[in-house]
């Protein structure tokens, strides 16, 4: 179960200090310790700065203060998930297309258990009021939705953290076979998608208006492929050479002859 240390909990735009503290407690309950906050609201920062004696977050953490002591703060979600080989986004909203499969908590936990032994996994949770934006969800290879009753579909942030950590902790006792080939890190994938975005615009495959939808479909397609670092570099090389040919009408090697 050592790979639990590779699972990072990322809270985006946290608005309530107490929820941050309760999330830390939930993490401690199930053996997780790596907590990141992305662009938290000022009152969350101010509360944490008060320290254990006066902070509401520390009060709700209940013996998980060490997680708050060592949490990291990032300006953007891209920064927080850059080293991750798997990014799991959470949402209650339905949409036409996601960038990865939509799984329940148990299936998500099994996927995390396959990847975490080889590297970082990020569990991403959104704001208390409206969750994650479309652009933030687009960074995910897997989307998890927690089944709830229609009358009250959204969970409290800390409850959602607890439920997903519980599922992963349970699977960790009897994990599936891990992935054999190392998956590419999120940062490398984002460079590939940036190249691909430039390419599809340049060749006229799509336009600015339809670009977000087009890129969402490409993300979903390539996430299914579970790309390795070498495969990402191979595809980027192909795109770079294609752009060169489109601009110059011949290969780079032909210019030297």
Residue 212: how many other CB atoms lie within 10 Å: 13
Q: Taking residues 79-85, what's their average pLDDT?
A: 97
pLDDT higher than threshold 90 for residue 203? no
Distance CA(29)–CA(24), nearest Å, equals: 9
For residue 253, the model assigns a pLDDT of: 57
Answering whether pTM is above 0.85, one says yes
Q: Taking residues 15-31, what's their average pLDDT?
A: 97
For residue 244, the model assigns a pLDDT of: 79
More confident call, 1 vs 77: 77
For residue 161, the model assigns a pLDDT of: 98
pLDDT tens-place string over residues 167-199: 999 999 988 888 778 899 999 999 999 999 999
Side-chain-side CA neighbours of residue 76 (13 Å): 7
Q: Taking residues 198-222, what's their average pLDDT?
A: 93
Q: Do the Cβ atoms of 66 and 32 come closer than 8 Å? A: no
Assign 254 a pLDDT band (cuts: 50, 70, 90). Answer: low
**35-44, 159-168, 194-203, 236-245: which range is least confident on average?**
236-245
* Residue located via tokens 């799984």: 103
Q: Taking residues 10-16, what's their average pLDDT?
A: 97
pLDDT tens-place string over residues 59-69: 999 999 999 99
Assign 154 a pLDDT band (cuts: 50, 70, 90). Answer: confident
For residue 135, the model assigns a pLDDT of: 93
Distance CA(220)–CA(205), nearest Å, equals: 17
pLDDT tens-place string over residues 50-59: 999 999 999 9
Distance CA(142)–CA(183), nearest Å, equals: 14
The structure tokens listed for 10 are 């990322």
With a CB cutoff of 8 Å and minimum separation 6, the contacts of 42 are none
- Residue/partner pairs of 193-199 with CB below 8 Å, 24 or more apart: 193/218, 193/219, 193/222, 195/236, 195/239, 195/240, 196/239, 198/243, 199/239, 199/242, 199/243
Distance CA(77)–CA(61), nearest Å, equals: 23
Q: Taking residues 223-235, what's their average pLDDT?
A: 94
């Amino acid at each position: 179960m050592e790979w639990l240390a590779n699972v990072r909990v990322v809270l985006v735009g946290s608005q309530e200090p107490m929820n941050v503290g309760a999330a830390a407690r939930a993490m401690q309950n199930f053996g997780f310790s790596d907590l990141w906050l992305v662009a938290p609201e000022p009152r969350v920062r101010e509360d944490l700065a008060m320290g254990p004696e006066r902070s509401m977050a520390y009060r709700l953490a209940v013996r998980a203060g060490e997680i708050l002591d060592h949490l990291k703060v990032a300006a953007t979600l891209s920064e927080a998930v850059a080293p991750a080989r798997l990014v799991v986004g959470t949402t209650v909203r339905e949409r036409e297309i996601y960038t990865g499969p939509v799984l329940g908590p148990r299936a998500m936990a099994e996927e995390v258990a396959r990847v975490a032994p080889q590297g970082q996994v990020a569990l991403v949770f959104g704001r208390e009021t409206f969750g994650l934006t479309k652009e933030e969800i687009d960074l995910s290879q897997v989307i998890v939705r927690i089944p709830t009753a229609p009358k009250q579909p959204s969970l409290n942030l800390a409850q959602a953290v607890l439920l997903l950590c519980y599922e992963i902790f349970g699977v960790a006792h009897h994990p599936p076979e891990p992935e054999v080939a190392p998956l590419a890190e999120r940062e490398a994938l984002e460079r590939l998608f940036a190249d691909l975005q430039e390419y599809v615009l340049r060749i006229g495959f799509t336009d600015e208006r339809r670009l977000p939808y087009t890129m969402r479909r490409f993300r979903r397609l390539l996430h299914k492929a579970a790309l390795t670092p070498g495969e990402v570099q191979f595809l980027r090389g192909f795109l770079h050479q294609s752009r060169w040919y489109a601009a110059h009408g011949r290969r780079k090697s032909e210019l030297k002859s």
